[in-house]
């Protein structure tokens, strides 16, 4: 099974190496190159409305899954305990539903924040 290494960094480096998940706690963001090898950089903001990172001292997990719908490769995978598990591609309507849900979650989150 494919694995990904992780690197805790203060700043996101200019050159992103393949197979490494760079995590900046300071900027609440993580970045890695799409694991399919297409070379696209995937930015995953870390927040209650975006991605959640789990570090168990050895391996990292990102939740939810990563769906690169805006890339040509359309790859979809999970990073669980530094292992990459490919998921099936979503159908068009699922992507739309997923996006809708995502923006609804965001709305709730930001509303909560303002109260
Ligand atoms: Zn890709």
Partners of 31 in beta bridges? 22, 43
Residue 97: band (very low, low, confident or very high) from pLDDT cuts 50, 70, 90: confident
Q: Could you tell me the distance, in angstroms and rounded to a whole number, from the CA of residue 93 to the centre of ligand 1?
A: 20
Beta strands in 1-115 (DSSP E): 5-8, 20-24, 29-33, 41-45, 52-55, 60-67, 76-80, 83-86
Q: Could you tell me the distance, in angstroms and rounded to a whole number, from the CA of residue 71 to the centre of ligand 1?
A: 7
Q: Could you tell me the distance, in angstroms and rounded to a whole number, from the CA of residue 33 to the centre of ligand 1?
A: 8
Residues surrounding ion ligand 1 at CB below 5 Å: 34, 36, 38, 73, 75
* Token pair for 82: 């530094």
Check: pTM over 0.85? Answer yes or no.
no
Confidence (pLDDT) at 114: 53
10-22 pLDDT per residue, tens: 999 999 999 999 9
């Amino acid at each position: 099974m494919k694995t990904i290494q992780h690197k805790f960094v203060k700043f996101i480096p200019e050159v992103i190496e393949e197979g490494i998940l760079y995590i900046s706690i300071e900027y609440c963001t993580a970045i890695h190159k799409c694991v399919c090898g297409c070379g696209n950089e995937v930015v995953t903001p870390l927040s209650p409305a975006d991605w959640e990172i789990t570090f168990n001292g050895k391996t990292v997990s990102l939740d939810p899954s990563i769906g690169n719908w805006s890339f040509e490769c359309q790859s979809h995978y999970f990073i669980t305990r530094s292992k990459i598990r490919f998921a099936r591609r979503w159908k068009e309507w699922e992507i739309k539903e997923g996006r809708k849900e995502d923006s609804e979650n965001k709305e709730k989150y930001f509303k909560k924040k303002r109260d």
